[in-house]
């Protein structure tokens, strides 16, 4: 398997809904998670391009489905999804996003895997559990980033990871769901993430069968 050059990432298109997404050729991996968990920052760290995805201290920064192409190929994509669970967004708007997000997740054929970005200090919030349940039901591979590990000591971060992995094992979902420690600030875990994404993006299996 060749190494994907994540530094080659370039903005492709922003889509307000599934209908406006680019053609479903090739493969893509999407970053999902609660608002402010650090999805856009993780993408920027992975691609070593801090201008790629917009980040902000204010939750609800990413409001569209943003596509980035890799290695000059529109058939190889990274996707930054809008965050969920941001209470200050008007309810009607939240419901609209939720609808588009659900539709994207359920129907997008080129989706090969989902990166769930969580804050290591508050992993497994209600929405994260919902996402994991959805992945298991849909047989979609999901890789969890326990992000912002720079906010914890190394020991505490490792303990959280072990506990998280134990829970996955106890629930019998560790074949589909994996986890790692990550920090966009220090770059911890970026090679591990690149390896996981490389595997998904280069798999020729249809979705749900990787």
Ligand X SMILES: Nc1nc2c(ncn2[C@@H]2O[C@H](COP(=O)(O)OP(=O)(O)OP(=O)(O)O)[C@@H](O)[C@H]2O)c(=O)[nH]1
Contact footprint for Mg ion (CB under 5 A): 39-40, 61-62
Residue of the chain from 49, 185, 192, 202 that contacts ligand X (CB under 6 A):
185
35 is in the binding site of which of ligand X, Mg ion, none (Cβ under 5 to 8 A by kind)?
ligand X
Report 149-168 residues binding ligand X (CB under 6 A): 150-151
The SS3 assignment for 12 reads strand
60 is in the binding site of which of ligand X, Mg ion, none (Cβ under 5 to 8 A by kind)?
ligand X
38 binds ligand X, rule: CB under 6 A: yes
179: closest CA among 135, 207, 8?
Answer: 135
CB–CB of 122/96 below 8 Å?
Answer: no
CB–CB of 102/93 below 8 Å?
Answer: no
User: Contacts from 99-107 at CB under 8 Å and sequence distance 24+?
Assistant: 100/16, 100/17, 100/18, 100/65, 101/32, 103/17, 103/18, 104/18, 104/21, 104/30, 104/65, 105/30, 105/32, 105/134, 105/138, 105/140, 106/138, 107/18
- Report in angstroms how near the CB of residue 32 gets to ligand X at its nearest: 9
15: closest CA among 59, 68, 56, 61?
Answer: 68
150 is in the binding site of which of Mg ion, ligand X, none (Cβ under 5 to 8 A by kind)?
ligand X
- Report in angstroms how near the CB of residue 166 gets to ligand X at its nearest: 23
Give the nearer residue to Mg ion in terms of CB position, either 160 or 184: 184
151 is in the binding site of which of Mg ion, ligand X, none (Cβ under 5 to 8 A by kind)?
ligand X
Residue of the chain from 27, 47, 55, 189 that contacts ligand X (CB under 6 A):
55
46: closest CA among 193, 144, 185?
Answer: 193
- Report in angstroms how near the CB of residue 26 gets to Mg ion at its nearest: 23
69 is in the binding site of which of ligand X, Mg ion, none (Cβ under 5 to 8 A by kind)?
none
Structure-token match 């986890």, residue found: 179
123 is in the binding site of which of Mg ion, ligand X, none (Cβ under 5 to 8 A by kind)?
none
CA distance 7 to 10: 9
Segment interacting with ligand X (CB under 6 A) among 2-10, 126-134, 146-154, 200-208: 146-154
Report 104-143 residues binding ligand X (CB under 6 A): 117
Number of Cβ within a 10 Å radius of residue 83 = 26
- Interface residues toward ligand X, by CB under 6 A: 33, 35-41, 55-57, 59-62, 82-83, 117, 147-148, 150-151, 183-185
């Amino acid at each position: 398997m060749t190494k994907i050059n994540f530094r080659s990432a370039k903005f492709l298109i922003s889509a307000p809904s599934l209908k406006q997404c680019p053609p479903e050729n090739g493969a893509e991996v999407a970053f999902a998670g609660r608002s402010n968990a650090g999805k856009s920052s993780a993408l920027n760290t992975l691609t070593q391009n801090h201008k790629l995805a917009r980040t902000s201290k204010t939750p609800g920064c990413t409001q569209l489905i943003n596509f980035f192409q890799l290695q000059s190929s529109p058939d190889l994509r990274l996707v930054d999804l809008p965050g969920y669970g941001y209470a200050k967004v008007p309810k009607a708007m939240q419901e609209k996003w939720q609808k588009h997000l659900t539709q994207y997740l359920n129907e997008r054929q080129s989706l090969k895997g989902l990166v769930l970005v969580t804050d290591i200090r508050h992993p497994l919030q209600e929405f994260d559990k919902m996402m994991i349940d959805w992945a298991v039901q849909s047989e979609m591979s999901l890789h969890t980033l326990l992000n912002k590990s720079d906010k914890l000591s190394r020991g505490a971060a490792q303990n959280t990871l072990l506990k998280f992995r134990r829970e996955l094992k106890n629930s019998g979902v560790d074949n589909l769901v994996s986890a790692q420690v990550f920090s966009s600030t220090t770059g911890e875990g970026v090679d591990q993430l690149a390896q996981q994404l490389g595997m998904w993006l280069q798999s020729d299996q249809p979705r749900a069968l990787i």
